[in-house]
Every structure is written in structure tokens, then in C-alpha cells.
């Protein structure tokens, strides 16, 4: 070995430009040498250490659960792992209704999407009343900047959680059970945030503010109607207002003879405070996006009557609403539209302008110009966002680029979103089409979420088995005259999401702890087959021998940390991440996975692969060209 020493060197080329992500991931060892990436990886360790220490101090037990489980219809697409070990019929648990196909037949594990069932079994076992785990999870989904197939979550589950809110929680807007989980999450998330603050984050330019002790709470319907999203970013205004809430024959609105149609019209009004913040035609087209169904009008803020006239003459969304409600446009009082416009103008202001006299004066002196955006949608809303909610996000990005809006990365905008629908129409869940198989309903969260106690009558309807649970509320539901599908659509779940700066960083729920209710929901509402229900036999058996009321939460560690350091990509906080493969799946640029079993091509390569696959009762399907 020869060792050489030098006392001087010359840098031939120095560039401050950062190479593209593909190049960085292909040379990850060198990329991790950069000071920023080193700080990110070290910060991850310190933040998770703070969470682990806090949970241990609160008598939580850290327990590892299996990664290799059985495939089950509970969420996203799974990663399947073929195995050479085959189960025989004699291995089936007692009481199992499924049959094992004759060998040889390929059999598979599924990588866990989350430790959901194992952690519920742990709570039912009584071996711990407070569980946590920093768990690796896997979902066969397309990669994005804030999501990849292999991810880490901080998982907690607690026994003996309440089924209803106490007075203190109700004052905060939390009207369901699981208050113990809420307070626990706020505590350990606060510890994680403040530990990063002590380290001054990984980005020197981001000076983190202290984490609030309690997080704001908002109901799902309120979030969808005011912000058009189930994960609203509260760091700016641009609030949505209904154009048609007060429209209807005055003499009929107070009677039982008139009901609003199953759609509404959203309106968002943006008024620039200076000329530089106005929207060019190109910017306006980027915000509206062709085919989105959103209408855009340039109007005078000081002329609400003119705005009302324009909307009555030109708005297709408003005409569709009036047609559905069987209201003639000539019968609409223009003052109602004027009031709606003025309220939307006030709510649409940026937070930096609200209460800022200088900004308001500048706004009034600059121009009378305002942009009125209008869109129709279903009422109640469906899914995780509306067309106007998507526009609100695009508008915020455009305004941020123009300097009209500054989104703080240092002050956390935490928000609990609660009271989600327990069930979602299958038509609104395109990413779960592989699970719905033509069924009408799918679980909004997962099939183990408990309904809110106030909605038991709506869920069970006339089912005689649960009349003792429903009580007098059953008659209340029948008096309202709702058909069965309308009843199910109104059932709310005890499900809660944690949102940070417009990104969902975690979620959880109070669980169903009664086998009869769990089995009935799967079979009668979700319409799972007997075979599909049998895949949950371990959980159902655990519930049948007695389980305490319990609930839990999972924090998406990667996404949370990326927000902490002010990055748009979770790959900046993962040592060896996967990246989107441009339609070819998720790629590991360091270890070059996924890959074929044989490096050979043609017939010889296929024969070699088939030899390996034969041990798993598999073979290649496509013939080589």
C-alpha cells in the first residue's frame, strides 16, 4: 500500500447548484456527507429518542410486532412475499371457516401496512395497557415527495379509553371518545418538536417556535366547507363561503315542504392588496385549471350588486343549483347574493391582511379589482377535498411565488380533524377500487373504527340485535324518514387525523371492542364475504374473549420530520429512500431494487428464474420476445 501526502490542492470546478435527486440518490453515500443531510439523519435519531423516552416515562411498553402477516382487505395495496413453507389443512385454527387449497399452490405473506391488528390483540391480551412501537410499514403505492412504499410510523395504543368527551374536551371542540389518546399525542409530539427546536433544526434558516400544548380541533364537515380539504392549511386565509345557503323561497324555508338539493355552490373571493399581487391571465389559468369545473370572474369589490347580477346571468353552477332546487332565477333576492359576496370577500382575505390597517388601506387604495371563483359540489361533501379546496391550494402557491403570501415554516399550525364519516361511498375512493369490488360503502379509515355513540341508531337502523345499544334513538332516526343509505351516509366515526401545515402527519381512532358489532359491520355494511371476514379471525377471536375499550394513533415519522426541517420531500430525512420510477414502480437507486432473479436474458434467464420460483409454486408468466 502506498500513502501519498500533499500540502496543497486546487479546486478545478466549484458549483453551488445542487444535483438532481436521481443523481443524489444514485450516489447516496456522497450525498449523506453533505452537512445538511448529516444533520437531518442525526436530528431524526434525537427526535425519536425524545419520543421514546417520554412514552417510557408514561408507562408505555415498547413491543415489536410481526412484519410478515396475512393479506387482509383493510386498506391500501399490499406487498406480497411468496414462501416455500406451505400450510396444511391441519394448521388451520379451530373454528376457521376457510379451506386450504390443495398443494402445490403458491402461498404468500403480506408485509404489514400497519401493526393495526397485532396491537389490538396485545391490548386484548392484557399484557400491556399502553403499547408503542417505532414500526416499519409497507404499502404498494406510487411514490411522491411526501410518500413512499416503505415508511416509518410511531404507533401507540391505549386500553380503557373513554367513549365520550369530558367537559374540558368539549370546550376544545372534541366531542367524542379517545381524549386520553389526544392528550398523549399532544405531549409526545410536543416533545419531538421541542427537541428539534433545541437542536435548531437541520436547516439553519428555520428557527422553530415552541410547540403549543394543545392543538386546535375542527370537525371534518367544517374543514371541508370552509377550506375544501380534510387537511386544511391554517397558515393563511382564503376561506371558502357558500353562495347559496340562504337561497330558497322565504315562505317555504321555515316549513317541512322545502329541502335544499344534494348540491351546493362554493365561492372564494381574492382581492389583491397591490398591483404586483394581481393575477396575470396565465396565472389565473394555472389557478383555475381547465376542466376543473371552476368559474372565475373579475369584478369590482365595491359593487356587490354588479357581482350578483353577473352570477345570476353567467354562473352555470348557480343555475344548476337553482334548477335542482326548483327555484326560478327571477325569484332570487339579489340582496342574498350581495350578502354572500361580501361575506366571501371578508373571509377570502389573507391572514396577513386581517386586522392589519395598513394592508387594508393599501388594498382599498390599490384597486377595486377582485377575483371571484365559483364551483358547484355535492352536499354533504365526499372524499378528502373539493374542487374549490384544490383551487385554494393552487392560489396560495401562486401568491407565495408573487410575495403576497409568506408561509411560516417555523410556527406549527397543528390541527385535529375529527368526526369523519364512518363510511365513504366506494365511488369516491378510487385508490381503494381493488378492495370495493362493486360494493356501495368502504371504511373511511379502516373497518375497526368505532361509530360515535350519537349515531348508533343511524348505523344499526332496524337491526333487532342491537336495539339495547340504540335505545330511544332508534325511533328518532325513523321519524326523520331517512332511507337506509341516507342513514349510513350520516354515521360519524370516532376517527381523528392530526394535520400540520396542511399535511396529514398522523391519524387514529377509538376501536370497536365488541365482536358482534365488528362482525356485523363487516358483513352487513361493508359486505365482506365470509372468506374475507375469516382473514380477521385472530382479531375477532380476541374480541370474543373480552377486550377493553381501546384506541390508538400512528404518527408518520418521515412526513413529520420533513416538515420539521422545512423540506418538501421525505427523502431528505431517510438514509436510503425509494424514489418514483416514472411509471416503472418504486426504485432503490443504491441497491438497485426491485430486480429480476436472473441477470441472464432470453430463454436461459427464464429457465433460471423458473427454477428459483418453482420452490414457491410459481413460474414466470410472460414469454421472452
Instruction: Report pLDDT digits (tens) over 221-233.
Output: 999 999 999 999 9
- At residue 129 the predicted structure's pLDDT band, cuts being 50, 70 and 90, is very high
Q: Which of 145-154, 345-354, 440-449, 467-476 has the weakest average pLDDT?
A: 467-476
Q: At how many degrees (to 10) do helices 334-347 and 304-314 cross?
A: 110
CATH class given for the domain over 21-85+105-213+552-577: alpha beta
Over residues 404-445, the pLDDT tens digits come to 998 888 889 999 999 999 999 887 655 555 555 556 899 999
Tell which residue, 261, 247, 226, has the closest CA to residue 337.
Answer: 247
Over residues 462-495, the pLDDT tens digits come to 777 776 665 545 445 454 567 888 899 999 999 9
Residues in the chain: 625
Q: What is the pLDDT of residue 583?
A: 46
- At residue 103 the predicted structure's pLDDT band, cuts being 50, 70 and 90, is very low
How many other CB atoms are found less than 10 A from the CB of residue 592?
9
Strand spans (E) along 356-462: 369-378, 414-418, 423-425, 441-443
Contact 79, 137 (CB under 8 A): no
- At residue 582 the predicted structure's pLDDT band, cuts being 50, 70 and 90, is very low
| Mean pLDDT score, 266-290 | 95
- At residue 625 the predicted structure's pLDDT band, cuts being 50, 70 and 90, is very low
- At residue 91 the predicted structure's pLDDT band, cuts being 50, 70 and 90, is low
| Mean pLDDT score, 303-310 | 96
Q: How far, rounded to the nearest angstrom, does the alpha carbon of residue 459 sit from its chain's CA centroid?
A: 24
Burial class (CB in 10 A: 0-12, 13-18, 19+), 321: buried
Residue 354 in this model has a pLDDT that exceeds 80: no
Q: What is the pLDDT of residue 257?
A: 45
- What is the DSSP secondary structure assignment for residue 206, as one 8-state letter? -
Question: Computed from CA positions of residues 191, 195, 200, 202, in that sequence, does the dihedral angle turn out positive or negative?
Answer: negative
| Mean pLDDT score, 191-201 | 87
What residues contact residue 534 under an 8 Å CB cut-off, 6+ apart?
96, 97, 98
Q: What is the pLDDT of residue 398?
A: 96
Rounded distance between C-alpha atoms, residue 263 and residue 317, angstroms? 10
Tell which residue, 133, 157, 152, has the closest CA to residue 51.
Answer: 133
Q: Where are the domains of the chain?
A: 21-85+105-213+552-577, 236-354+364-407, 420-492+514-547, 586-611
| Mean pLDDT score, 116-144 | 94
- What is the DSSP secondary structure assignment for residue 558, as one 8-state letter? H
- Average pLDDT over the chain reads 86
Q: What is the pLDDT of residue 532?
A: 92
Q: What is the pLDDT of residue 431?
A: 56
| Mean pLDDT score, 93-114 | 69
Ranges of H-type helices in 199-330:
220-227, 250-253, 281-288, 304-314, 316-324
pTM for the whole thing? Answer: 0.89
Q: What is the pLDDT of residue 351?
A: 84
Tell which residue, 23, 121, 141, has the closest CA to residue 69.
Answer: 121
Instruction: Answer whether 21-85+105-213+552-577 and 236-354+364-407 agree in fold.
Output: no
H/E segment holding residue 82? strand 80-83
Most confident of 7-16, 369-378, 401-410, 594-603: 369-378
Query: CA-CA distances (angstroms) from residue 108 to 105, 148, 151, 203, 419?
Result: 10, 22, 21, 43, 36
For 439, the grid coordinates are: 360494493
Q: What is the pLDDT of residue 616?
A: 87
| Mean pLDDT score, 265-294 | 94
Please name the fold of domain 236-354+364-407.
Gyrase A; domain 2 (3.30.1360)
H/E segment holding residue 171? helix 167-171
Residue 527 in this model has a pLDDT that exceeds 80: yes
Q: What is the pLDDT of residue 356?
A: 55
Q: Which of 114-128, 429-443, 592-606 has the weakest average pLDDT?
A: 429-443
Most confident of 19-28, 114-123, 244-253: 114-123
- The count of C-alpha atoms lying within 13 angstroms of the C-alpha of 620, restricted to the half-sphere facing its C-beta, is 17
| Mean pLDDT score, 50-77 | 92
- What is the DSSP secondary structure assignment for residue 368, as one 8-state letter? S
- At residue 255 the predicted structure's pLDDT band, cuts being 50, 70 and 90, is very low
Percent share of the chain, pLDDT over 70:
83
Tell which residue, 176, 372, 339, 190, has the closest CA to residue 266.
Answer: 372
| Mean pLDDT score, 317-322 | 94
Q: What is the pLDDT of residue 477?
A: 46
Over residues 11-40, the pLDDT tens digits come to 666 666 778 888 888 899 999 999 999 999
What residues contact residue 399 under an 8 Å CB cut-off, 6+ apart?
270, 277, 350, 405
- At residue 264 the predicted structure's pLDDT band, cuts being 50, 70 and 90, is very high
Amino acid at each position: 500500500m502506498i500513502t501519498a501526502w500533499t500540502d496543497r490542492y486546487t479546486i478545478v470546478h466549484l458549483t453551488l447548484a445542487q444535483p438532481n435527486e436521481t443523481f443524489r440518490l444514485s450516489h447516496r453515500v456522497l450525498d449523506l456527507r453533505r452537512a445538511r443531510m448529516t444533520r437531518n439523519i442525526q436530528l431524526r435519531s434525537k427526535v425519536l429518542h425524545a419520543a421514546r423516552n417520554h412514552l417510557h416515562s408514561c408507562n408505555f411498553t415498547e413491543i415489536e410486532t410481526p412484519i410478515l402477516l396475512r393479506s387482509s382487505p383493510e386498506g391500501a395495496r399490499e406487498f406480497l412475499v411468496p414462501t416455500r413453507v406451505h400450510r396444511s389443512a391441519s394448521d388451520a385454527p379451530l373454528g376457521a371457516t376457510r379451506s386450504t387449497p390443495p398443494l402445490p399452490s403458491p402461498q404468500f405473506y403480506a408485509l404489514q401496512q400497519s401493526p393495526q391488528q397485532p396491537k389490538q390483540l396485545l391490548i386484548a391480551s392484557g399484557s400491556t395497557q399502553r403499547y408503542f412501537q417505532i414500526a416499519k410499514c409497507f404499502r404498494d403505492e406510487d411514490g411522491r415527495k411526501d410518500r413512499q412504499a416503505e415508511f416509518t410510523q410511531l404507533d401507540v395504543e391505549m386500553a380503557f379509553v373513554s367513549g365520550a368527551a369530558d367537559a374540558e374536551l368539549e370546550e376544545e371542540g372534541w366531542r367524542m371518545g379517545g381524549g386520553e389518546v389526544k392528550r398523549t399525542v399532544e405531549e409526545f409530539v410536543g416533545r419531538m418538536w421541542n427537541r428539534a427546536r433545541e437542536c435548531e433544526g437541520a436547516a439553519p434558516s428555520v428557527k422553530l417556535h415552541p410547540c403549543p400544548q394543545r392543538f386546535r380541533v375542527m370537525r371534518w364537515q367544517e374543514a371541508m366547507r370552509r377550506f375544501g380539504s380534510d387537511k386544511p392549511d391554517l397558515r393563511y386565509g382564503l376561506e371558502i363561503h357558500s353562495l347559496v345557503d340562504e337561497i330558497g323561497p322565504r315562505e317555504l324555508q321555515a316549513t317541512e315542504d322545502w329541502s335544499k338539493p344534494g348540491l351546493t355552490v362554493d365561492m372564494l373571493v381574492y382581492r389583491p392588496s397591490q398591483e404586483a399581487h394581481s393575477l396575470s391571465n396565465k396565472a389565473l389559468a394555472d389557478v383555475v385549471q381547465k376542466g376543473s369545473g371552476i368559474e372565475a370572474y373579475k369584478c369590482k369589490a365595491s359593487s356587490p350588486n354588479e357581482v350578483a347580477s353577473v352570477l345570476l346571468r353567467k354562473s352555470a353552477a348557480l343555475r344548476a343549483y337553482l334548477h335542482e332546487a326548483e327555484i326560478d332565477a327571477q325569484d332570487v333576492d339579489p340582496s342574498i347574493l350581495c350578502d354572500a359576496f361580501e361575506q366571501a370577500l371578508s373571509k377570502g382575505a389573507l391572514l396577513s391582511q386581517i386586522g392589519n390597517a395598513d394592508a387594508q388601506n393599501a388594498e382599498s387604495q390599490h384597486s377595486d379589482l377582485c377575483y371571484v371563483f365559483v364551483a358547484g359540489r355535492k352536499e354533504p361533501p365526499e372524499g378528502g377535498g373539493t374542487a374549490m379546496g384544490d383551487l385554494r391550494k393552487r392560489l396560495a402557491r401562486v401568491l407565495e411565488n408573487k410575495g403576497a403570501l409568506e408561509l411560516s415554516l417555523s410556527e406549527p399550525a397543528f390541527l385535529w380533524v375529527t368526526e369523519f364519516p364512518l363510511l365513504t361511498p366506494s365511488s369516491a375512493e378510487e385508490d381503494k377500487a381493488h378492495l370495493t369490488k362493486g360494493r356501495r360503502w368502504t371504511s373511511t379509515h379502516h373497518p375497526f373504527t368505532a361509530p360515535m355513540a350519537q349515531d348508533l341508531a343511524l348505523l344499526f337502523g332496524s337491526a333487532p340485535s342491537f336495539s339495547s345499544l340504540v335505545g330511544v334513538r332508534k325511533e328518532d332516526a325513523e321519524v326523520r324518514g331517512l332511507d337506509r343509505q341516507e342513514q349510513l351516509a350520516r354515521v360519524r366515526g370516532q376517527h381523528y387525523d392530526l394535520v400540520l401545515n396542511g399535511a396529514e402527519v398522523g391519524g387514529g381512532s377509538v376501536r370497536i371492542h365488541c365482536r358482534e358489532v365488528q362482525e356485523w359491520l363487516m358483513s352487513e355494511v361493508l359486505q365482506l364475504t365470509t372468506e374475507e371476514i375469516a382473514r380477521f379471525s385472530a382479531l375477532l377471536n380476541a374480541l370474543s374473549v373480552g377486550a377493553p375499550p381501546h384506541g390508538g394513533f400512528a404518527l408518520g415519522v418521515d412526513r413529520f420530520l420533513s416538515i420539521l426541517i422545512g423540506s418538501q420531500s421525505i427523502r431528505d430525512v431517510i438514509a436510503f429512500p425509494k424514489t418514483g420510477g416514472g411509471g416503472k414502480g418504486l426504485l432503490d437507486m443504491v441497491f438497485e431494487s426491485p430486480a429480476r432473479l436472473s441477470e441472464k436474458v432470453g430463454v436461459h434467464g427464464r429457465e433460471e428464474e423458473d427454477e428459483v420460483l418453482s420452490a414457491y409454486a410459481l413460474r414466470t408468466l410472460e414469454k421472452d420476445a
